Structure 1
């Protein structure tokens, strides 16, 4: 099992587009053996935190390479969110 935390930041003025993008992209997780455990939104409205599980690294890599995901991101252009992904484990 691979557990990730994604810190997603939306550009100012593009929050609504970013939220729609994340809705669409997170819906793709299942086809790659992924599961969204938690989705939290910062009180600033510009940040989200996602806790995501994959059955293995191959699923995560196939999610990153998903052409539908890439197409969704390309349509946003400069309005696309920036994301930092951290691999985590229970302590």
Structure 2
């Protein structure tokens, strides 16, 4: 099991496009053994935090390489969100 925290930041003025991108990309998790456990949005609408679990690290790598995900990201160009991913475990 792999648990990740993703901190997603949207470029100023591209918040709505970034949120639509995340709405779509998060639906791809299941095909890679992943699932979204929590999705929290900052009160300013410019950032989100996701708690995501994968059955294995290989599933996460597969998600990152998903061609549909890459195409969606490329379509956004400079409006694509930036994401910091942190692997975590229960303390």
Q: TM-score range by the shorter chain?
A: over 0.9
Q: What's the Cα RMSD here?
A: 0.2
Deviation at 1:44, TM superposition (A): 1.1
TM-score, normalization: structure 2? 1.00
CA distance in 2, matches of 1:63, 1:23: 15
Q: Extract unaligned runs of 5+ from structure 2.
A: none
**Partner in structure 2 of residue 90 of structure 1:** 90
TM-score, normalization: structure 1? 1.00
**Partner in structure 2 of residue 63 of structure 1:** 63
Q: Which runs of 4+ in 1 moved over 6 A?
A: none
CA distance in 2, matches of 1:68, 1:21: 11
Q: Extract unaligned runs of 5+ from structure 1.
A: none
Deviations 1:38-91 (A, max 9, x none): 000001100000000000000000000000000000000000000000000001
The count of aligned residue pairs is: 91
CA distance in 2, matches of 1:20, 1:47: 13
